[in-house]
Amino acid sequence: MDFSLSETQRMLAETTDRLVRERYGFEDRKKILAGPDGFSRPMWATFAELGLTGLGIAEEHDGLGGTMGDMAVVAETFGRALVVEPYLPTLVLGAGPLGLAGSDAQKSEILPRVVSGELFLALAHGEPKSRYTLCHVDTKAAADGGDFLLTGAKAVVLGGDAADYFLVSARTDGTTSAPHGISLFLVPRSVPGLAIRAYPNIDGTRAADLVLDRVRVPASAVIGQAGHGLPTIAHTIDRAIAYLCAEAVGAMQALNALTLDYLKTRTQFGQPIGAFQVLQHRMVDMEMALEQARSMAILAADRADDPHPHERARAVSAAKVQIGRSGRMIGQCSVQMHGGIGITDEYAGGHYFKRLTLIDRTFGDADHHLARFAAAA
């Protein structure tokens, strides 16, 4: 058994850590959020220079390769700094499924330009009525000559504001909740019939809702085999959850550090508030919640590419439950122990609380994954 980081992971940790320390302080982040895109393109260029946009992408497409465990190292640092650039959408949700199921032509067209930092991607899978159910797809893909016409709506597409290409799921067959008949299509942003409503999320990340009205794509746009998209999507979402778990661990760690520091420095009644036992115990609980979360995040990253979907699902869902619970507990307790400061926009603590809360709402909340775990047991 060995829980230590590999050489690559140590390097990634060092590189990203230095980057966020030097360029992604809370004040830098505020400026980034206030900019025209709500994230920083120069920062993205730096990610590319450092090789971060090549992570998880095969070497034959100019990438660095690497496992989910490697990406989790980046995710954790990004969580600590509350990085808002669309890294999860582009690398995990976009490049991920292309690498898993894309054709050679698709991969060589898209992936090198992701590595170079030129392209943003997004997975447009969730729909206004799908909630967290992966097989719920109402968007239709009708065969038309050699092409497909896509019609439907996609909801809360992470990174959808900036994406140059969308990976859109649509039904070539079957009824709304059938596991079969779902296909994944590569759709460029500027295609006629695609309406994009971009917006910020309440935690500073960004998303979009899409409406597709007879969007024409060629048969070569199908990613993988038509009608068999769901396994690829499910695998991708599990990898994204593993990423989110690591990101959440970073956020929890930073929030605990802030809170502990506050307990030591804020004085009331002539003593640091950390002298009050009720707060001491709560802080101890928060540290335990973090460690439990960290353990499960490690497990999720380890199993995210498990060839047995069943094993993968169990581990990832278990981790998501733990992350949801730990994040909620740590977020709420941290705000409470900060008093009024905790709910102000100008203090970093509240932003971690918001991010942790929304991570629980992304790709299934703790209830959803508890049920999935129980069903998989």
Partner 1 sequence: MDLKYSDEERAFADEVRAFARAELDPAVRDRVLNHKRLGKEDFLGWHRKLHSRGWVAPNWPTTYGGCGWNAVNRYIHEEVLAEEGAPPLVAFGVNMIGPVLIAFGSDAQKQYYLPRILSGEDWWCQGFSEPGSGSDLASLRTKAVLDGDHWVVTGQKTWTTLAQHANLIFCLVRTDASVKKQEGITMLLIDMNTPGVTVRPIITIDGEHEVNEVFFDDVRVPKENIVGEPGKGWTYAKFLLSHERSGIARVGQAKRELRRLKEIAAAEMVDGVPLIETKTFREKIAAVEIDLMALELTNLRMIAAEKSGQAPGAEANMLKIKGSEVQQNLTELLMEAVGPYALPFNPDALEPGWNGEPIGPEYAAPLAGTYFNYRKVSIYGGSNEIQRNILSKSLLGL
Q: List all residues 6 or more positions away from 132 whose beta carbon is below 8 Å from its beta carbon.
A: 363, 364, 365, 368
Report the distance separating Cα 38 and Cα 47, nearest Å.
17
Give the side-chain half-sphere CA count within 13 A for 13.
Answer: 13
Report, in Å, the least distance between residue 278 CB and ligand FAD. Answer: 5
Helix (H) or strand (E) holding 122: strand 121-124
Of the residues 340, 345, 346, 377, which one makes contact with ligand FAD according to CB under 6 A? 340
Of the residues 252, 319, 335, 356, which one makes contact with partner 1 according to CB under 8 A? 335
Structure tokens at 310: 């069943």
How large is the C-alpha radius of gyration of the chain?
A: 21
Q: Taking CB under 8 A as the rule, which mask of x and - marks residues 350-369 in contact with partner 1?
A: xx-xx--xx--xx--x-x--
Task: Choose from ligand FAD, partner 1, none: what does 131 bind? Cβ within 5-8 Å by kind.
Answer: partner 1
Point out which span in 18-26, 194-202, 261-269, 350-358 binds ligand FAD (CB under 6 A): 261-269
Report, in Å, the least distance between residue 2 CB and ligand FAD. Answer: 40
Report, in Å, the least distance between residue 269 CB and ligand FAD. Answer: 5
Residue that has been written with the tokens 């505020």 in this structure: 30
Task: Choose from partner 1, ligand FAD, none: what does 346 bind? Cβ within 5-8 Å by kind.
Answer: partner 1
Find the binding residues for partner 1 in span 199-228 (CB under 8 A). Answer: 199-203, 205, 207, 209
Report, in Å, the least distance between residue 271 CB and ligand FAD. Answer: 9
Question: What do you get for the CA distance between the two ends of the chain, in Å?
Answer: 25
Q: Taking CB under 6 A as the rule, which mask of x and - marks residues 278-317 in contact with ligand FAD?
A: xx--------------------------------------
The β-bridge relationship of strands 147-158 and 140-144 is antiparallel
Tell which phi-psi region holds residue 191, choosing left (phi > 0), alpha (psi between -120 and 50) or beta.
Answer: beta
CA 172 to chain centre: 27
Interface positions with ligand FAD (CB under 6 A): 266, 268-269, 273, 276, 278-279, 336-337, 339-340, 343
